[in-house]
């Protein structure tokens, strides 16, 4: 559900290729450990405080992404071809 509520695949496309290994591990924990995807949505949109265990630079990146300061239309998931592109 998280992917549909918050478009985590758009966040992933925009950010995964420039994350460090530590950040990738934090992101993996964030999207896999909480039992309720709505919690991630609430933390990212600052509707609820983020638990200390998930409060880190990746959560900060997710919060910034959620603000959508450029007012991008995020109506569909990205094509998956980006997963097979070599990093630039």
Q: Give pLDDT, residue 79.
A: 58
- Between residues 54 and 81, which one has the greater pLDDT? 54
Rounded Cα distance, 76 and 82, in Å: 15
**pLDDT > 70 fraction of the chain, expressed in percent and rounded:** 68
State pTM to two decimals.
Answer: 0.70
Q: Give pLDDT, residue 75.
A: 55
**Is residue 48 scored above 60 in pLDDT?**
yes
Are 55 and 44 in contact, with CB atoms under 8 Å apart?
no
């Amino acid at each position: 559900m998280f992917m549909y509520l918050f478009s985590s695949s758009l966040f992933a496309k925009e950010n995964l290729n420039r994350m460090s290994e530590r950040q990738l591990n934090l992101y993996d924990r964030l999207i896999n450990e909480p039992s309720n995807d709505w919690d991630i949505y609430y933390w990212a949109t600052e509707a609820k405080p983020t638990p200390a265990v998930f409060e880190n630079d990746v959560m900060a990146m997710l919060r910034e992404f959620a603000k959508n300061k450029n007012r991008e239309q995020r109506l569909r998931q990205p094509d998956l071809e980006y997963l097979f592109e070599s990093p630039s």
